[in-house]
Structure 1
Amino acid sequence: MDMDKDIQHIEAEIIRLQRQKEQEQAMIDVLPVRFDNNMAAFKKYIPSVYEQFKTYNPARPFRFFCNENGIPNLLWLDSNTAFYGDDPYQFAKAQVEKILSCSTIDKFSFNVEDDLFNQAHVQYLNKLCLLYENVSVELERLTNIPEHVPMIMMFGVGLGYQFSYLYEKCSVRNLFVFEPNLDLFYASLFSFDWDALLQHLDRENLSLHLFLGQDEESLMSDLLPALHKKGAFWISSVFAFWHYPSEKIFSLVERIKKEFYLLKSGWGFFDDNLFALAHSAKNIENKTPFLLKGKDISSFTNNLPALVIGNGPSLDENIQFIKDNQGKFFLFSCGSSITALHKAGIKPDVLLAVERTKSSADFLALLNDDDYLRDILFLSVDIIHPECRHYFNRMAVGFKPYEPMHGLLMSNVNNMASYAQMDGVNPFVGNTGLSYAITLGFKEIYLCGIDNGYKNPQHHHSKLSNYYDDNEKPIEQLTKLVTQSACYTIPGNFGGEVTTDRLFCVSIKSMESLLKLHEHVTCYNCSDGAAIEGAIPLHTSDVVMNNVIHDKIALTDIIYNKFFSPLDVTRKDIEEFMAFDFFDSVLEKMISDWKHVEMSRSAVSEQMQKHFEYLVFISNTRQRHIFRVLVGSVNYFFSFINTIMYSFDDIRMNDKIVSPSIAIMIEFFEVMKSTYPEALNFIDESDCEILQFYRKNTMRINFDN
């Protein structure tokens, strides 16, 4: 009896092996055909992938095999391990079903903000916030992944089988796929029907972006431009999953978690862009000199180092060093650090500011020493408030990236190519200081008080600055303002940890990117604040000084007279370039479309994508400045609408919140439409209430040498 069972088992196994052999032969026949079809599809739809893999040779040897089910699986030859288990299809199907049933969409949270500068963007976003707060308690929440999904991040392609099951279950507007293992993606070109998927995406107007071979260091620099090209607003409602486990996959996931704030930073908005246009136009009208390209201070000085001074708390421990050696450095004072230097009896060679609002000029008045400021060279960016010039004999600016005026002039003025656009000036004035030091050609740069955070919440800026009273005690209102959003702990420059907030994290990343672009520059970080990759930690006590005293007055004259030049552009010219009628037609079209949109997730998503693509088209035309004026606020409002659409699963949601939200957005679009014709008169005249809390200087401290 047992022998009969054994014989039956052997016969069944022989049949199974024969079937497996037949399936493997069929697989071997079909894989090259599928590869050719897939490569032809990528050549048509995503040519960069075709170019990357047309002559690709795997780094790790593998072969395909299959069980009697005929499903291609991958065997790594060096370890003799299979990538999937017995049934790759069943694994992919079960994974997708579990993810879609157990996951929720991660959404932005929006809060009512103080409207410090009477800005329509803030006012109408606040209206959306209040609507959301009032209505959300009445509606049922969305607790799973719906049929239409705005954005998914998938980590790992594997052999690709999960794609079919994912798109069977839902329509994904934007799928961002990260596969660090190029060998696996190459294998998927044989195993998965990419041709059919790409045709489906093209037919349904759905987006796929592949990030292939990225490591955690290159990830964000590739992800950010890809996201902004599709529309940064999509990141407001996203969910993510990994297809297979690996150290590289998990490192990518952790990097995105850690630096997710970068994806929702630096969007700008309408009113700020009008300030930028008006202030820049006024500075041009005032014949303020603009930075020229290709200027380098090294041909005029013998290795003079630059010292970029911020108002971080560690400035206090370095103030005596600066005082003792001020003749041996070219001193860049960043923003409020001027109040600490003034109190210490130090006069910098350059003062920098970057904030566009009137508070930049009003802050200078708090110094209460016009004579002290008068002969300092004031350097800034084109959007700086024009009243700042009244405090200085000499003021010069450079074009700030991602602001509307530079694009407007580049499209209409012939000699604009000779003027520089500055890198890395955002988000804080410390970034502006480092950018200017590098752009002017200094090869050796020291950072003092560029802390980008603090170790003690009661010591968040220099105690010599006007964040503190005459007795160097923290001013309560300012301390609360500075520390209330601090929610990150990051590595310190000299060890330990530093407390910081999201914007300071952006500042650090900006400095790191700038230094990476200029590897010929040696930068020392003498600040006991946050570590900055690319800046060498160095205590001021370890700085090796030469005894050369430089003629910095002559050098400042050279910088102002030779490195900057006014624009030959009048206000009338700028008015003609503004394209008022075109702006009106753009807003009229957007308003009309939104008044007639169907109230469904798919229709609203399609409308947002359509309008964003329209703006991207404008960015490549002579009216490119209009893209800059609109894109920030469009991202914010689309983000909020997107968040609303994927917060609720309630038949009442269209009437209760979706339709009213779109109506609020339309109102805002109407305001933009009516306001833009007055853009060049949109100079900020608001009085910032916060300034009343800063100390007004009444005395000066003289340090003993």
Structure 2
Amino acid sequence: MPVIVVGNGPSLEVAIAALKTLRDQVILISCGTALATLLNNKIRPDYHIELEKEADTLTRLNKLPAAELKCISLLATVEIHPAIPALFKQALLMATTANPITDLLYKSHKRSATILDYSYYTVTNFALDLLLQLNFQQIYLVGVDFGFATIDTHHASSSNYFNEQGKSVYDYELQHGATFEVQANLNGACLTVPAFNTARLLMEQCLAAWAGNAIVYNVGHGAKIEGTKTLPCLPDILNNSALPAVKNPTVIKTSVIDKHFSLLTSEDTVNFIDDTLVLANQFCRSLLALWSTPTQIDCAPQQTLRILAEQDQLLQALKIQSRVVFELFNGSCRYFSMLCHRYAKCSAASTLIPGFTEHWRLLLQHYFTDLQQALRT
């Protein structure tokens, strides 16, 4: 079945009428902020994809009609903000490359997850990589522009990037970098910004890696994406005899995802988290024991370095015991160690080092309190 991937570029505005006409003939997938634009135009996608993990994504989604979200399935990475999946009808999560904690989660239960190697720089990169991985044969990119005619038309005009007067809500070029020209999808050139151009080049790598596996159409007047076929507008798809009329689009989870993903049950995940919390709690308690006595807090710089060596031994032993808990503590431990070693030989060391160790002790106490709370819940 054909899939339309909807980004929030300026070409989306031109395609709104055609999307309404084709709605029941395709699987419609919105990406990131494009969801609000579609809902503003009374179009409900079958699936929505999010890549951003931060809390502002949750804030943005909470501004949309809750009843509409409950009719849409979410596709996202396993690192998505934990409060986001509950907003949707269902959440289908997958892994991206170079994610050791996710990998260890699956390995601990002798399962495997489809790994996405080309899922960045934008959510549309994630969408295309996923669909190619799932062997979709016809993919139409709408509003995946990576470019625009003028700086005042950087996204769809009915999107939340513009106010009621049609003005950009912030200085787009100041925020995202100076514009420059690239080849346009239809003819001539269009403007882009560094982030969009990076995303375009990464999408071209993805298409090159999957060359011959699918036909991907770039619809509209954005930037040219090598590896795609150009379509000026969506109505041309109506002349494509390969596009069937389907009243009830196939549910991705049952038709495709279950064939490619060995899904973890909620019990698997809860057990994994519980085991991780117990060990993290034990390790944090051990670190607190190193730094919590008054003599150690006020100790000379050289004594601090000796305690740091003990801390490092604990950390290396943890790496063997649990790579997941090691990853959770490694960055903070190494940063604290770096600070102490850097300032240990300076003239103000006797003043600075005790302050560092006190802040470190307070941070460990904060970690420990949070871990205790998590274990109780």
Q: Does the TM-score normalized on the shorter chain lie above 0.5?
A: yes
- The correspondence for 2:139, drawn from 420, 431, 445, is 445
CA contact (8 A) 1:427 1:507 kept: yes
Q: Is the 8 A contact 1:408 1:622 kept in 2?
A: no
How far did 1:537 drift? 4.0
Change (3 A) 1:396 1:324: same
Q: Deviations over 1:177-222 (max 9, x none)?
A: xxxxxxxxxxxxxxxxxxxxxxxxxxxxxxxxxxxxxxxxxxxxxx
Could you tell me which of 392, 396, 420 is aligned with 2:92?
396
Where do residues 427-446 of structure 1 align in structure 2 (5 Å cutoff)?
427-446=121-140
Partners of 1:375 and 1:485 in 2: CA distance: 34
Aligned residues of 1:399 and 1:420 also touching (Cα < 8 A): yes
Match of 1:500 among 193, 213, 216: 193
Partner of 2:182: 491
**Structure 2: runs of 5+ lacking an equivalent:** none
Closer, same or farther in 2 for the Cα pair 1:631/1:545, shift >3 Å? Answer: farther
CA contact (8 A) 2:147 2:190 kept: no
Quote the offset at 1:461 in angstroms. 1.6
Kindly indicate whether residue 313 of structure 2 is the aligned counterpart of residue 625 of structure 1.
no
**Post-superposition offset of 1:447:** 1.4
* 1:404–1:490 Cα change, 3 Å: farther
- How far the C-alpha of 1:664 sits from its partner, in A, is 8.3
Answering whether residue 205 of structure 2 is matched by residue 513 of structure 1, we say yes
After TM superposition, list the pairs within 5 Å mapping 1:128-143 onto structure 2.
Answer: none
Deviation at 1:433, TM superposition (A): 1.7
* 1:442 Cα deviation from its structure 2 partner: 0.9
* Change in 2 beyond 3 A, CA 1:619/1:680: same
Cα distance between partner residues in 2 of 1:491 and 1:635: 43
- The one of 533, 545, 548 equivalent to 2:240 is 545
Equivalent position SS for 2:180: strand
Q: Does the CA-based 8 Å contact 2:96-2:119 persist in structure 1? A: yes
Residues 607-662 of structure 1 deviation map (CA, whole Å, 9 limit, x = unaligned):
9xxx8xx99x8998453234544677789999999xx99xxxxxxx9558x99998
* SS of corresponding position for 1:416: coil
Name the residue aligned to 1:324. Answer: 21
CA 1:360–1:414: 2 relative to 1, 3 Å: same
Which residue of the partner structure matches residue 68 of structure 2? 372
> Once the 2 structures are TM-superposed, how far is the Cα of residue 560 of structure 1 from its aligned partner?
8.2
1:520-539 aligned at under 5 Å gives the runs 520-539=213-232
Cα offset, 1:589, TM superposition? 9.3
Equivalent pair of 1:486/1:499 in contact (CA under 8 Å): no
Contact 2:173 2:179 survives alignment (8 Å): no
Inter-CA distance 371–576: structure 2 relative to 1 (3 Å threshold)? closer
Q: CA deviation at 1:309?
A: 0.8
Report what 1:421 is aligned to. Answer: 115
> Structure 2 vs 1, CA of residues 487 and 556 (structure 1 numbering), >3 Å: closer, same or farther?
same
Question: Structure 2 counterpart of 1:429, which letter?
Answer: V
Structure 1 distance, partners of 2:223, 2:43, is 25
Structure of greater Rg: 1
2:74 is paired with a residue whose SS is strand
Contact 2:8 2:31 (8 Å CA) reproduced: yes
Q: Which amino acid aligns with 1:571?
A: V
Q: Distance in 1 between matches of 2:223 and 2:363?
A: 40
Aligned mates of 1:325, 1:636 — CA distance in 2: 54
Please give the secondary structure, in 1, of the residue aligned with 2:16.
helix
Aligned mate of 2:160, from 450, 453, 466:
466
**Alignment identity in percent?**
23
User: Which residue does 2:32 correspond to in 1?
Assistant: 335
Shift of 1:311: 0.8
Q: Which amino acid aligns with 1:516?
A: A
Shift of 1:333: 0.3
- Distance, in Å, in 1 between the alignment partners of 2:227 and 2:334 is 32
Task: Give 1:549 deviation, angstroms.
Answer: 0.9
- Say which SS state the counterpart of residue 375 (structure 1) adopts: coil
User: In structure 2, do the counterparts of structure 1 residues 621 and 390 end up closer, same or farther at CA, with 3 Å as the change threshold?
Assistant: same
SS at match of 1:383: coil
Give the drift of 1:372. 2.6
Show the counterpart of 2:268. 569
Q: 1:344 to 1:574 in 2, by over 3 A?
A: same
What is the distance in 1 between the residues matched to 2:252 and 2:222?
30
Deviation at 1:521, TM superposition (A): 3.2
Change in Cα spacing, 1:525 to 1:662, as seen in structure 2 (3 Å) is farther
CA distance in structure 2 between the partners assigned to 1:659 and 1:512 by the alignment:
55
Q: Secondary structure at the residue paired with 1:308?
A: strand
Distance 1:566 1:626 in 2: 20
Q: Which residue in 1 is equivalent to 2:9?
A: 312
Indicate the SS of the match to 2:268: coil
Where do 5+ consecutive residues of structure 1 fail to align? 1-303, 599-606, 646-652, 683-705
**Residues 152 and 168 in structure 2, CA contact (< 8 A), matched pair in contact too:** no
Structure 2 CA distance for partners of 1:345 and 1:399, relative to 1, 3 Å: same
Kept in 2: contact 1:339–1:464 (CA 8 A):
no
**1: CA distance, partners of 2:218 / 2:372:** 40
**Cα pair 1:454 1:460 within 8 Å, conserved:** yes
Change beyond 3 A, Cα 1:409–1:586: farther
Per the TM alignment, residue 353 of structure 1 is displaced from its structure 2 partner at its CA by 1.3
Aligned residues: 348
CA, structure 1 residues 435+561, in 2 after alignment: closer, same or farther (shift >3 Å)?
closer
CA distance in 1, matches of 2:337, 2:172: 29
Per-residue CA deviations over 1:141-193 (Å, capped at 9, x if unaligned) read: xxxxxxxxxxxxxxxxxxxxxxxxxxxxxxxxxxxxxxxxxxxxxxxxxxxxx
CA shift at 1:337, angstroms? 0.5
Q: What are the equivalent positions in structure 2 for 1:567-646 lying under 5 Å apart?
A: 567=265, 568-569=267-268, 571-578=270-277, 579-580=279-280, 581-582=282-283, 596=302, 621=320, 623-626=322-325, 628-629=327-328
Shift of 1:496: 1.6
Deviation of the 1:470 alpha carbon: 4.0
Call closer, same or farther: CA 1:451–1:414 in 2, change over 3 Å: same
2: distance between equivalents of 1:394 and 1:371? 13
In the alignment, the residues of structure 2 paired with residue 667 and residue 492 of structure 1 have an alpha-carbon distance, to the nearest angstrom, of 56
Which amino acid letter does the alignment assign opposite residue 11 of structure 2?
S
Distance change >3 Å, CA 414–CA 465, structure 1 → 2: same
